[in-house]
Amino acid sequence: MGLQCCFSVTTLHTLKLSPISILRQSTKIPTLHPLSHHLSRPLLLLVRSLSAPAATGPTTIVTTNDTATATAPDDYRVVKAPQWKAAIDFKWIRENKEAVAANAKNRNSNANIDLVVELYDKLLDVRKEVEGLRAERNVIANRMKGKLEPSERQKLVEEGKNLKERLVTLEEDLLNLTDELQQEAQCVPNMTHPDVPVGGEDCSIIRKIVGKPREFSFSVRDHVQLGKDLNLFDFDAAAEVSGSKFYYLKNEAVMLEMGLVNWAVSEAMKRGFTPLTTPEIVRSSVVEKCGFQPRGTNTQVYSIEGSDQCLIGTAEIPVGGIHMDSIIPESSLPLKYVAFSHCFRTEAGAAGSATRGLYRVHQFSKVEMFILCRPEESNSFHRELIEIEEDLFSSLGLHFKTMDMATEDLGAPAYRKFDVEAWMPGLGRYGEISSASNCTDYQSRRLGIRYRPESSIPPKKGKGSSAPTQFIHTLNATACAVPRMIVCLLENYQQQDGSVVIPEALRPFMGGLEIINAKFK
């Protein structure tokens, strides 16, 4: 289950671990960058290569009464995240302008392709002018080394000063154009697989249907009522302690969570995945590089006040960062990880009966699969991931369908995304329990993850043996999002007497427990 990616807002509010904040309440964001007015667009990136420049160091500013100053109390201090640049091939965007623009439109992106091309052309012009002035400066410097009449030397000194002043202005313009071009180009979405249906979520195509809805001979309860009757959850106490959309798991529900996690990790390991536990606090820049928004009105990310760090919304983020800024030997690919983590999401804008109980919560446990592979292999690994998910959920006896999601439902990095929606009889509808995304080289271009192909041709004598590096492809898929799996299991395996049967596949991971019996006072 992915996080949606877009940038918006100009005002942030501060709360401890606020979802959208590192400023004092009602404080306007100071102008840190000439591109701040462009941050309303999705932070996206196109799949083409260009070396990513190194990141610069962090910049600290402070703000008081909407005015940026050099110093101020620590309470008002704002840390600007280190700058980074995505590896974008602007030339390719210009040469394929119509295709890029059509793709952005199909994905409901407001990326401005005309502006990207315009800025790129301006940057080339300014860069050419800067190079010309630098050449003139070098000519003058060489002439100054010889014997000259005082008047001629003075004339060259004046010319040098004028060139220097012009260069300073142009070099500053060049930096600003580079930043603005980078920001606009990062709004361009990943290209889309040709078989992906065009349109909104209702245009998504059913790929496969597994099983049939169970027929009940009694009145069906939803998971909230079942959890109350079986003494498995406490939403009221959690609301007092933490707020809405939090929960306590109790009794057999704790065993069920642990059993689901161990079962999912074990099944993935059987298929060649390396198990990981991950940091659950990461730098904001890593969140951005993976294609998620760490700050914004509708962000799904909790940002930590006064820092450049965030709580993760999925293990995809820290796993994606584990090989950041590295070159992987081709012989090491593919790399397959299965990661357990707690996940934190603001669930901004979510409300209503469809989100009650465990279906949409702020904190949950999840097991995530992540693959790094050669570009030519990513489509086949995408199919492998969805097949693993189908095998896992089939082994639990669930009725579900897999969907090829339409263009407007794709997150920023996804080239193609398959969702799994399981039948939840208590809710009376299908609900998403998993997704599998092929992100091609969208994330690797931001994270700086490359591999070096092994050449089959022996190098010539005296020549280097290293082949040029290429960006790897990344894929991710949910093996088990615990709360929604609990919803499915309780609602599908409930019995007339109020008890719930444990699927056979999970029993070895729950100490042999076969049934959760009703509690009576």
Q: Which residues line the annotated binding site for L-serine?
A: 314, 345, 368, 476
Task: Quote the radius of gyration of the chain (alpha carbons, Å).
Answer: 27
Q: Which residues pair with 436 in a beta bridge?
A: 418, 477
- Selected catalytic residue, list 109, 435, 437, 444: 435
Question: Is there a contact between 478 and 366 (Cβ–Cβ < 8 Å)?
Answer: yes
221 HSE (CA, 13 A, CB side): 19
Q: Are 189 and 44 in contact (CB under 8 A)?
A: yes
Assess whether 360 carries a catalytic annotation: yes
Judge whether 318 and 289 are in contact, CB under 8 Å: no
Residues annotated within the binding site for ATP are: 345-347, 361-364, 432-435
If we measure between CA atoms, which residue out of 30, 93, 34, 100 comes closest to residue 65?
A: 30
SS3 call for 179: helix
Q: Which residue has the tokens 């999840």?
A: 366
- Which of the following is catalytic: 180, 303, 484, 491? 484
Distance CA 350, CA 367 (A): 23
Q: Is the sign of the CA dihedral 69, 73, 76, 81 positive or negative? A: positive
- Residue 217 token pair: 């001979």
* Cβ 290 vs Cβ 413: under 8 Å: yes
The question of whether 435 is a catalytic residue gets the answer yes
Catalytic residue among 41, 221, 283, 345: 345
CA dihedral over 81, 82, 87, 89, signed as positive or negative: positive
Of the residues 360, 445, 446, 450, only one is catalytic, namely 360
Binding-site annotation: residue ranges: 314, 345-347, 361-364, 368, 432-435, 476
Cβ contacts of 516 within 8 Å, gap of 6 or more: 230, 232, 252, 256, 499, 500, 502
Phi, psi dihedrals of residue 340, rounded to the nearest 5°: -100, 135
Instruction: Give the containing element (helix H, strand E) for 433.
Output: strand 429-438
Q: Which residues pair with 450 in a beta bridge?
A: 327, 471
Inter-residue contact 441 to 376 (CB < 8 Å)? no
- Give the count of beta carbons closer than 10 Å to the beta carbon of residue 496: 9
For strands 400-404 and 205-210, give the pairing.
antiparallel
Catalytic-labelled residue, pool 252, 421, 432, 491: 432
| Cα 254 from Cα 252, distance rounded (Å) | 5
Longest dimension (CA), the chain: 108
SS3 state at 236: helix
**CA-wise closest residue to 396 among 300, 478, 331, 493:** 493
Place of tokens 């450049």: 308
Q: How far apart are the first and last CA of the chain?
A: 39
Helices (H), 219-354: 223-229, 235-241, 252-270, 284-289, 316-321
Whether 445 sits among the annotated catalytic residues: the reply is: no
Q: Which residues are catalytic?
A: 345, 360, 432, 435, 484
